[in-house]
Amino acid sequence: MENFTMLQFFEWYYPGDGSLYEHLKNDAERLKNIGIDAVWLPPAYKGEAGGYSVGYDVYDIYDLGEFDQKGTVRTKYGTKQQLVDAVQTAKSKGLAVYMDVVLNHMGGADEKETVTVRKVNPDNRNEFTSEPYEIEAFTKFTFPGRHGEYSQFVWDWQCFSGVDYDAASNESAIYSIQNQYGEAWEDVVGDENGNFDYLMLDDIDTRNPAVRDELKRWGKWFHDTVQFDGMRLDAIKHISYEFYNDWLDTMRGQTGQELFTVGEYWSYEVSLLQEYITATEGRMSLFDAPLHENLHNASTYGRDYDLTRIFENTLVAANPSRAVTLVENHDTQPLQSLALPVEQWFKPLAYALILLREYGYPCVFYSDLYGSKYTDKGDDGNDHEVELPALGEMESLLYARKHIAYGAQRDYFDNPNCIGWTREGDGEHENSGCAVLLTNGDESSKSMEIGRAHAGKVFVDYLNKHDAEITINEDGWGEFFVCAGSVSVWAVKK
């Protein structure tokens, strides 16, 4: 088996010039050559913010950059044809393509409706703070720019379980829509805020059978149109798990494909992630948010962080076959909603931890491969300039994952400031096998066993951080080195 690696092929501040799909098309071959196997693309449909929409403020799931709606034909990332061409090119170069699917909410409705609601306590959504009364809500979606092409379904208040704005009184609050499918929220995993079904905008009510049927029809149309290989599901902690069980089974049945799926259940409690995996009976993998938090903490605390505990309370430790590991994403990058950035000095160490070990499906972040520069307002109301440099070690780490990080793993997590592991290699990958050593403190060394098959071989640091040459002894052991606050990947000298 080959080691596979996914790339999140966008970041929050990617330029809004319609160039992303062309960028993928032009770079697909290089990505495959450096060790990327799958790309995760952003939400492809028209958002409330039109050409500026990152894609999570969904307006029309059938408009992939084809219709003049919300002030633009193309999306932030390009046109429908550019998307289809880019996916086709990426697949022809050997890349799998995962599409971002956002089925929790919609925004930018075309008409207002009079809707009966009850206000809820935002800190305990199960607690009503008013009797039923009427508000004016933007809940009717007719998509006049699309003229019924692909689907004539009209979304109205019966399709939603909650809204956050009353146009009549110009008041913002969380309103539970009292419709025929229930006056309370849908069942979700976890009890955050009492019930965290409601997140933002118009909350889709999947208890409505017409809504379910429409989302299944759309799923088939979306796959037939784009021909993607898998999905990243947004905001699943706010959506009925029972809906996704039904929807994923239908999608896989309709397409006859496995459709690898990773869900975003953003919680730092591994028990909740496990509960979700149980509720969905293993139908999808999840992002390892607890590991991301550990990596952030390790980068912030420096030598005061105990590296032997880096995998404690993580999904990759508890349920390795369902863990998608990551160092950063569009929500955690500086100035974003879940900002918990991993500091630059620690990123090579963090990527070694997700790329070169036996378990987990690693996801590389766009900015760490390409670099990013942007300005946005911080919590203090001031503009901040952010520069995220491309990681110089990234291609060497990807090479090591694709070609040498194979075979039995031995861990040496025996020092709070310096940890390491070895991979023994296998018969399928020439010169495979490596020793990885990282430290958040001073220059260090560690004696580690890599296996008798390597006796007499000379190992060098593939990251070029250390210039030693290490000869493996007859028992298969070597003394490996690492520079202060750094990582080295030792493998057969070529």
Mean pLDDT score, 314-334: 96
For residue 445, what are the contacts with CB-CB under 8 A and spacing of at least 6?
437, 479, 480, 481, 482
Query: What is the percent of the chain where pLDDT is above 90?
Result: 94
C-alpha span between 100 and 52 (Å, rounded): 17
Label residue 15 by pLDDT band (50, 70, 90). very high
Label residue 339 by pLDDT band (50, 70, 90). confident
**pLDDT of 84:** 98
Q: Are 112 and 103 in contact (CB under 8 A)?
A: no
Which residue do the tokens 């004539």 mark?
A: 152
C-alpha span between 488 and 486 (Å, rounded): 7
Q: State yes or no: pLDDT of 184 exceeds 90.
A: no
Summarised one tens digit per residue, pLDDT across range 397-430 is 999 999 999 999 999 999 999 999 999 999 999 9
Which residue do the tokens 């050559």 mark?
A: 33
**pLDDT of 144:** 97
C-alpha span between 32 and 34 (Å, rounded): 6
Q: State yes or no: pLDDT of 218 exceeds 90.
A: yes
C-alpha span between 390 and 367 (Å, rounded): 6
434 secondary structure, DSSP code: E
Active site residue ranges: 234, 264
**pLDDT of 98:** 98
C-alpha span between 489 and 487 (Å, rounded): 7
**How many angstroms separate the most distant Cα atoms in the chain?**
81
Summarised one tens digit per residue, pLDDT across range 19-41 is 999 999 999 999 999 999 999 99
Summarised one tens digit per residue, pLDDT across range 433-485 is 999 999 999 999 999 999 999 999 999 999 999 999 999 999 999 999 999 99
Q: State yes or no: pLDDT of 396 exceeds 90.
A: yes
pTM recorded for the entire structure:
0.97
Q: State yes or no: pLDDT of 88 exceeds 90.
A: yes
Assign 234 to helix, strand or coil. Answer: coil
Q: Which of these, 465, 450, 443, 489, lies nearest to 351 by C-alpha position? A: 489
Label residue 121 by pLDDT band (50, 70, 90). very high
**pLDDT of 403:** 98
Compute the residue count for the chain: 494
What is the chain's Cα-based Rg? 24
